[in-house]
Amino acid sequence: MKLQASLLTLALATVSLSKPTARQSTSFVKADGQSFTLDGQPYTVFGSNSYWVGLTGLTTDEMDVTFQDIVETGGTTVRTWGFNEVTSASGDYYQLWNGSTPTINYGSTGLENFDNVVAAAKANNIRLIVTLTNNWSNYGGMDVYVDQILGEGQPHDYFYSNPEVIAAFQNYVKVWIERYIEEPTIFGWELANEPRCTGSTNATSGTCTTTTITDWVKTMSSYIKSLDSNHLVGLGDEGWFNLSNSTDYAYDGSQGVDFDANLAIDTIDFGTFHLYPYTWSEETPSAMVWGQEWIENHRDAQATYNKPVLMEEFGVYADQNQTTTYENWYSTVIDGGLSGVLIWQAGSNLTSGLTPNDGFTIYPDTPVYYLEEQFSAQLKAKN
């Protein structure tokens, strides 16, 4: 007894010496009205996206640095990819397709690797939003399911409606849920990154509408809830509205997403939206002002449906008044009472080199990195 006790003390001392702040609550994050909570206290969702942390062959030390860099901005929450569909094995991937048969990669370049991501996040007191497929062809995504099961070049939107494809995606999702159902480091599951009727190619059935995707969101989110009552479920969409009186494609339902209808679904716990006015060609009268209204409109929906809503991706390039725009948007989020915000995207300078830079990457010790520190403190103080 005594020996065991002193060994335990020694072990705890070692842990607390190497990582003084590394004690994560063993509770799950919950949604309560328009807030997230942890152990009954407000849980602030502030942080970043790192789609790459489990997909680019990082060592566990590099994963640790990745999360430390985000923690230093005041980050609590990181969104990352829980998918990579391949047809021949290479790098880190989760599902290898041969014809219409997918095989899960449980090994050191697959789910074992993701176990390391979870461990590194947990050691840094970070929680993870895990997105389970992609609208776009980056890292496989929906079109791989459609092509492998139904044949090359079949419509992208059959992902949402074909029973065989839905069953294959459910089988995949179930593997993740069963592996991590007791893991509080997982903040929640997201059905897909940026679901739309169209994908990276132009192949569509011509019959996809907001109803198609909303029906799929009902099917998938209730499927997840039937297996996993621990974790939150969100969609991962860009937040398009479906207003019959608008001619702006972000508001007119033409992308196949109805933000309100999706947020109203019982088995969806929180809403998500993205903000890229330049890539969306939404630059008038000013991209910053357009974005401010976009945030306010989603904040209003948050109040209407009494569920938390996250601005979970946003970006303008460095030469597009980036700092001023981000100050304005962070302030709009915080002053307006939106539930949380994640920037696109985190960056680190690792032993193996700089992490991916798509022009939006925020590396340590840069002006926007310091801006994140400032606004995370404001949001925490408000909560």
Ligand X SMILES: *[C@@H]1O[C@H](CO)[C@@H](O)[C@H](O)[C@H]1NC(C)=O
Q: How far is it, in rounded angstroms, from Cα 99 to Cα 62?
A: 35
Residues 6+ apart with CB under 8 A from 216: 159, 160, 161, 166, 195
Q: Does 144 bind ligand X (CB under 6 A)?
A: no
Look at the block and give the residue holding tokens 């974790």. Answer: 231
- Exactly one of 62, 238, 312, 313 is catalytic; name it: 313
Q: Which of 49, 113, 214, 376 binds ligand X (CB under 6 A)?
A: 214
Q: How many CB atoms lie within 10 A of CB 59?
A: 12
Q: Does 320 bind ligand X (CB under 6 A)?
A: yes
Q: Which of 201, 207, 226, 304 binds ligand X (CB under 6 A)?
A: 201
If 0-12 CB within 10 Å is exposed, 13-18 middle and 19+ buried, where does residue 11 land?
A: exposed
Residue 44 or 148 having the CB closest to ligand X: 148
Q: Is 190 left (phi over 0), alpha (psi -120 to 50) or beta?
A: beta
Residue 177 or 208 having the CB closest to ligand X: 208
Residue 38 or 234 having the CB closest to ligand X: 234
Question: Is there a contact between 87 and 97 (Cβ–Cβ < 8 Å)?
Answer: yes
**Binding flags for ligand X, 117-136, as an x/- string (CB under 6 A):** -------------------x
Question: Is there a contact between 51 and 80 (Cβ–Cβ < 8 Å)?
Answer: yes
Q: Which of 242, 254, 355, 361 binds ligand X (CB under 6 A)?
A: 242
Provide the minimum distance between the beta carbon of 164 and ligand X in the complex, in angstroms, as a whole number. Answer: 17
Q: Does 349 bind ligand X (CB under 6 A)?
A: yes
Q: Which of 4, 18, 90, 202 binds ligand X (CB under 6 A)?
A: 202
Instruction: Report the run of H or E that residue 310 belongs to, with start and end.
Output: strand 309-314
**Binding flags for ligand X, 259-298, as an x/- string (CB under 6 A):** --x-------------------------x-----------
> Which tokens is 112 given?
């074992």
Q: Does 243 bind ligand X (CB under 6 A)?
A: yes
Q: Which of 321, 322, 331, 383 binds ligand X (CB under 6 A)?
A: 321
Mark whether 313 is an active-site residue.
Answer: yes
* DSSP category for residue 231: S
Q: How many CB atoms lie within 10 A of CB 272?
A: 30
> Which tokens is 49 given?
């996206």
Question: Is there a contact between 43 and 63 (Cβ–Cβ < 8 Å)?
Answer: no
Residue 163 or 359 having the CB closest to ligand X: 359
Provide the minimum distance between the beta carbon of 205 and ligand X in the complex, in angstroms, as a whole number. Answer: 15
Residue 177 or 362 having the CB closest to ligand X: 362
Where b means 16+ CB within 10 Å and e means fewer, 189-201 reads bbbbbbbbbbbee
Q: How far is it, in rounded angstroms, from Cα 187 to Cα 29?
A: 6
Q: Which of 62, 258, 269, 312 binds ligand X (CB under 6 A)?
A: 258
Q: Which residue is nearest to ligand X (CB)?
A: 136
Binding residues for ligand X, per CB under 6 A?
A: 98-99, 136-138, 200-202, 210-211, 214, 242-245, 253, 258, 261, 287, 320-321, 349, 354
Residues with active-site annotation? 194, 313
